[in-house]
């Protein structure tokens, strides 16, 4: 379970699920903007090892957000929303 949420998605109301889905989408957007800025718009030197580590962490976090959003979307579909 994600430490940012207090209880499993299955026990949340539809309103709570929609709110959580929005929060996750906003967080993913922020993550992608930060990654884009760090790797595409700056001239700050980042060593190859650190850059690879940052890329792996980004991909891991991005995947986690996408997985969580897919679970919520499936629950909302199942509830007829």
pLDDT profile of the chain (81 residues), mean per 10: 66 95 98 87 74 92 97 95 55
Q: Greatest CA separation found in the chain? A: 50
pTM reported for the whole predicted model:
0.81
**What pLDDT does 80 receive?**
87
Q: What is d(CA 38, CA 30) in angstroms, rounded to the nearest whole number? A: 12
**What pLDDT does 3 receive?**
45
**What pLDDT does 40 receive?**
75
Q: What is d(CA 20, CA 25) in angstroms, rounded to the nearest whole number? A: 9
């Amino acid at each position: 379970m994600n430490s940012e949420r207090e209880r499993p998605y299955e026990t949340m109301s539809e309103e709570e699920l929609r709110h959580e889905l929005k929060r996750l989408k906003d967080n993913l957007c922020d993550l992608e903007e930060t990654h884009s800025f760090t790797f595409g718009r700056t001239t700050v030197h980042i060593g190859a090892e650190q850059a690879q580590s940052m890329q792996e962490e980004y991909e891991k976090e991005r995947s986690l957000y996408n997985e969580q959003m897919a679970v919520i979307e499936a629950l909302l579909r199942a509830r007829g929303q």
